Amino acid sequence: MNRNWFTRMLLSYVPAFFILSAFLFFVFFKILSDNNREAAARSNDYVAKQAQLIIDSSLAALDQKITLEMLRNRTIIDYFTEPSVQDLTLQVSVMNVLAELKIANPLIHSIYMFRTKDNTVLNMSTTYSLDQYPDAPFIQSILRSPNSKWSDLRAYRELSSESGTPVVTLTRSVTVFSDRYGLIVVNVNASSLQSLVREMYDPAATRLHLRDRNGNDLFAASTDMSAESAEKPAMASTAASDYTGWRLVSELKDGKAIHFLNSLFDVWFVLGVVVCLAALLWIVFMTRQNYQPIRKLVAQLRNYSAEERTTETAGFSGEFHFINSALENMINQNIRFQSQLQDDLKVKRNFFMYELLEGMRQVRSEEWAEEAGKHGWPESFGKARVVVLEIDHFADWRRTYTQEEQDSWKREIESIVADQVEKEGGEYRAWQLWTASSQLTVILMSPSASPDSDDPQIVGRWHERIRAEIPFELTIGLGEPVEHPDNIHDACQEALEALQYKAVDGGNRILAYSAAKPAGERAFGYLKQAETVAEHLRLSDAKWRVELRSLFRQLEADRQPREDIGQVLSYLLFHLNKAIDGMGEEHQRSWASDILPALHRTLSEAEMLKEISAAFFEALERFEERKENARNSRSQGSAIKEVKEYIEREFANPDLSLDYLSEKFGISGKYLSRLFKEEFGLKFVDFLIDLRIKEALRLLTETSDSVQDIAERLGYSSPISFARTFKKIVGMPPNDYRKEYQA
């Protein structure tokens, strides 16, 4: 295949490519246009409904205000019911009431009253007889249904010389004891209604029409009251009012243009489909044309190829398959053979290394040369160190990178170690094996067995390069040098043990086994502190924070390895579980569903003691806060806390009992006992005994008071009762305890 043929085939598809691309762009813009039109229609519909809602609520509020004023205003009622119709003082008072109504309600254009007994109209400035008032025709027409809802658009004139003002009118009949005395007429200027909704739309893009029942537009700029065309404009939304019977129409000014453009889009879309089909036919035609040279070439090769029968028998899968099948088969077989050979050698070498590290195989010195020769290792053992490189914060590292990225970074670490060993010269050899997901174990060997070798310096240079080229941290555990293959297992365990001290010494460093020694053994002290933390947390005593902080500080000061830290904190979780099992179901659910899983996750994933400490404090603080919130939400939440504090102060009171507390705090004894058990996880009696026994232990060891005096001071009725309780709790009589523990 020459370059001309390639160029010709490429250019033959270019027209179809551009046609299809243009059509796809057109479809995209068509969809975008439709979405914009639908969004505009939804927005327009929302504006219409909200504007109609605002107008209805404003008119309804005014209607309610006038109705209430008519019913409860004594001045208005007196005006209509007073026998004397010439009470000027009363008329002035009514005028003031009308003026106040107009001031309080900006929508009101004008307001007047009509009294039927003397056919008199009273507005905010004067009185008229009905036949002299310009709005008399409206009054006469409305007398037949005075309590109808808002009128349609009409022209109102207060003086005969005035031009009519477009208004809508609310009329309310004044009725006292079923006798009708007159009307209250309220006029609202149509322009005021438009002002209510002016801020809701952009006049440059949207036009609002508020049409009454006769089709008149209340928002029209002119005073022409003739009904406009009822034809619905393009891109318009209508909201009908159940209250007034009016319709609010929101019309997009460019709606007809948009509709026209969408019609053009439909025409172009049909043309685009036709052109797209033509492009597809062109692709098929050009493909057949471009295939002709290949078909001729394949026909010629079939005539002269000795492989034709074999190919047809095996199943012909492509024109070029039989051309290079023989060559590819030989190359592929050779590659597979070499790859399989290398894989087998690597598996055998890794398994041999794994056996040495795990102590599964004993290799004598004379056997080393034979086994090492198979794997390319030095036949003379010399000296070896086991170095374990561990990825810090492995749980976070595994969540950060995909499996493919993890494998890539592991290969990068192996490459750095191998490259750095090669730079050291021909003396050192290194064999690497990922013995765990986060740990790369390296056997660093040197033919020289001299004790003053610089192995730690070599490992230090590894670490420096890893810190410079790898975006995450690694800690290196360094075992002691060994001079016999059987001791490699011991050196591996030393390197792993050195890594245990990463929890207290910190990561991203080299930890040598010779320097990784704990400062002391305080196992019993740790366990007592853990029990104390659980006890204080159960009783909502803030001292748990002090005790927990002291526990973590002591673990750090004693340089305990990570494994021992995990055992101590597991013991702490055991006692926390035990303490919370006795609390209410709400506390137990919160602990089991959220807090406990978080603490277990911390123990399994966190590596540094500071991380573990922060996570434990955060989780236990969250549990304490939930306990406090639950206590405060209960009606007796604060009371039960006061009861606990009172018991802690008055535990030596011999009269202290549930009945005593019930009478003092006004809570029934049974309910108090249940609340105490749910909140603190133990019964009132057990809590009281615990306080007394703790004080007894202190008095027995710090004072020389007799057992009888101590029993009386603690509120026991008799020394025998005290001694029996003390022995049950402590395990020995008071006198024996004093002999054993008193300083």
Domain with CATH 3.30.70.270 in the chain: 362-512
Per the prediction, the chain carries an average pLDDT of 77
CATH architecture of the domain covering 638-741? Orthogonal Bundle (1.10)
Of 506 and 292, more confident: 506
Q: How many helices (H) and strands (E) are present in the chain, helices listed first?
A: 27, 14
Of the pLDDT bands very low, low, confident and very high (cuts 50, 70, 90), residue 268 is low
pLDDT surpassing 50 at residue 339: yes
Question: What is the model's pTM?
Answer: 0.45
- What pLDDT score was predicted for residue 519? 54
Domain with CATH 3.30.450.20 in the chain: 1-223+233-281
Facing residues of 430 across strands? 444
Polymer length of the chain: 743
- What pLDDT score was predicted for residue 224? 43
58, 165 Cβ separation under 8 angstroms: no
Least confident of 222-231, 354-363, 387-396: 222-231
The secondary structure of 494-535 as a DSSP string is HHHHHHHTHHHH-SSSEEETTT---S---HHHHHHHHHHHHH
Report which DSSP code applies to 319: T
Would you identify the CATH topology of the domain 362-512?
Alpha-Beta Plaits (3.30.70)
Cβ contacts of 625 within 8 Å, gap of 6 or more: none
In tens, the pLDDT along 146-198 reads: 666 788 888 888 887 778 889 888 888 887 555 567 889 898 888 888 888 87
The CATH code that applies to domain 1-223+233-281 is 3.30.450.20
In tens, the pLDDT along 576-635 reads: 887 787 777 787 888 888 888 988 888 888 888 888 889 888 988 888 888 777 766 665
CA angle, corner 249, sides to 245 and 253, nearest 5? 165
pLDDT surpassing 70 at residue 636: no
Q: Which residues of 548-578 are buried (b: 16+ CB within 10 A; e: fewer)?
A: beebbebbbebbbbbebbbbbbebbbebbee
Chain center to CA of 502:
33
Token pair belonging to 87: 């009470």
- What pLDDT score was predicted for residue 402? 92
Least confident of 64-73, 287-296, 326-335, 501-510: 326-335
Domain with CATH 1.10.10.60 in the chain: 638-741
